[in-house]
A and B are shown apart, each in its own frame.
Chain A
């Protein structure tokens, strides 16, 4: 087997003295969509933040074979790793178009950026209608679309998604997940963090289950959907 695109080994993250991630390991192969599920406070966001270098961490994070542990956060997007943070994190006082431009901040290939913008607008037509509007005035679902569109403008190879369904009405959740699936279909590798386990497992190939800072279970998505423990704890059955 070739080396995975993302390989995490023995990752520890703590806040002050309190350990939030306790030596976890997982991997994501190129082209895969993998999900990380777990209850509130399991340490999912903490894990993604550590990957994005927003939190100091111990252990090993290898991306395309080299270590990320000492890279500054602003260097990652240029290497193709982009985080769509929990709560979207759109720039409320920038317009929709400016937010999308920020996604392409590190890119120099102007013509290609223009083509990507057309593709993002094609995939998310609502954003095109609202291009000149301040992002803070968008609905929650539109903001999530914008956050994903902004990340796509960086031409990610690995997309880290933190709870894209959070706080959205079911119909909007469905739309967001359609977008995520079409992004995956274009060959973008995705690490999806979700509390909505059923949804995440229905789109991902494999999954990891996280509980109080540790990974307790991993399998293919269909197997996890059938696992009695998962069914009881995360699928409400």
Chain B
């Protein structure tokens, strides 16, 4: 039940290795914030700094209007769920959940009441007297979550809590976490994952971390519809957004673009100014926004290299002239047979065409945008 404020937070290991810098975030009470980013970008480090397990080497962390940089973890009002569950292996489920309360000196009745309530919430009543090793992965993770709930923390921290679970359990537990959040609307949660689906489905806002900084913060759909840079554009969405080189040939409330490859022309709803005329830009279109062109305007023209028919959609892969570029991918709804080896023209409606100049979206030109300097994947 708290708001968090991170101001210019940075992390340097051993005085030289800078892992995070200039992290500025305002987290409101009741939000579910998800940190995503490529592996090794510092998601866990940032979470552990909020938890107090890792020293903050620069900047300021405020929880509920109190600077907590030097406050020990147990006094920050946080609880953390680890990827590896981190259950105490020698204690029963009940004792695992009761540990923090016992240390805090709660009365026996109080402890029992809280533990049973948490166990009921997580369907763990029948396992209270088992040791962790006699539980399945999903049950263990629920115990870990229960261990947080009993403490009634101001902020819940999750570090990739579902990564050790198999696919079907992951979905079930994800839904459980979403329900949990709904039951506790005023508690603040910070959730680290590298899984886009988790990020998109759970988050009230997503923080994309990369290259040691914050690439973009916004609601899941903001990131999907209005990525501020080519990095975020490629990172959010799967398969990743196609980026193709082009030139601005018409400016104004909408922008007309001439594509380098295939020489087609296409319109984007992104506005541009007269000064942009002739600028070399990158044009981004998500695979799922691509449709077969019928008219004279098209974004891409090529030979279908491979097709993947998934039933609900058909994926088309186009090799690019420059083999180092990622292939252009089209994701057409429904079943399309016999396209392999054909010449196909693809286009997209103007509201689905994104334009980036020097890696930054035209929509964010007057804002400060952090470019991670690395490519996703």
The answer to whether A binds B is: no
Query: Taking beta carbons and an 8 Å cutoff, which residues of A are in contact with B?
Result: none
